[in-house]
Amino acid sequence: MSSTLAVPEVFDVPRHVAIIMDGNGRWAKRRFLPRAAGHRRGVQAVRTTVEACVERGVEFLTLFAFSSENWRRPADEVSFLMSLFVRTLERQVARLHEGGVRLKVIGDRAAFEPRLVALINDAEALTAENRRLTLSVAANYGGRWDLLQAMNRMLEANPHRAGNFGESDLAPWLATAYAPEPDLFIRTGGEKRISNFLLWHLAYTELHFTDTLWPDFGSSSLDAAIESYRLRERRFGRTSEQLVPDAIATVPSLTRVATG
């Protein structure tokens, strides 16, 4: 549902959390370690965050792993990140499947090596029916790329239509058409920008920025972000007076969800 066309239902715990995982390199530098050590530690933070989202009742988690601009980084770092992606898929997909997690990879796969593409395809096929949590990994992804590919696919599907397209025409072609718009956006590492991530989707998303570096992000960090979200007044263009408390949907409190 588009938040600019209709008012979405609001829950105590966000249905969809989107995260820019920033700070791996700085985490390593502060410890006089190579950047690769920060990226490896970042994978552990991903595992912790996935588990925490499942425990708290989050339904969709989208992680920005590698942007279309990250190819500008040093070649050895890019090569390491690609190999780390391969190793992570080889080692973690079975665990995700056992935990009921569906894996989706969004982004332009054309630049990936065949081995990586095959692993992505196999992982998506294996976990396709899982519904406990949908984990989307944005790799070689950019928000502008997403909009352009969606528009191109929309036009290809409607070759004889002469303009007058609307949001509902474009939405099914976006990379995350299977998910609701994010309720909560988190960026770690202290930077305060969205860096070409989910440009269409973040129109009414609540933004949370933290100085915590991604390798140090854990369940308590997620709880802090969710608590910040719960304190927001989500108006979607309305006035405060129009919000009726008993009309806002609720789910069990964060404490109860977390403790089971």
Tell me the Cα Rg of the chain: 19
- The single-letter DSSP state of residue 246 is G
Q: Closest by alpha carbon to 135, among 216, 50, 220, 65?
A: 50
**Contact present, 186 and 19 (Cβ < 8 Å):** yes
Q: Within a 10 A sphere around the Cβ of 133, how many other Cβ atoms?
A: 21
Instruction: Round to whole Å and give the CA distance between 178 and 156.
Output: 20
- Annotated active-site residue 22? The verdict is yes
Q: Within a 10 A sphere around the Cβ of 46, how many other Cβ atoms?
A: 21
- Annotated active-site residue 70? The verdict is yes
User: What stretches of the chain adopt beta strand conformation (E)?
Assistant: 16-20, 60-67, 101-106, 133-141, 184-187, 206-209
Q: Which of 22, 24, 140, 183 is catalytic?
A: 22
Q: List C-alpha distances in Å: 206 to 17, 20, 197, 226.
A: 10, 14, 14, 10
Q: Which of 12, 70, 130, 196 is catalytic?
A: 70
- Residues assigned a catalytic role: 22, 70
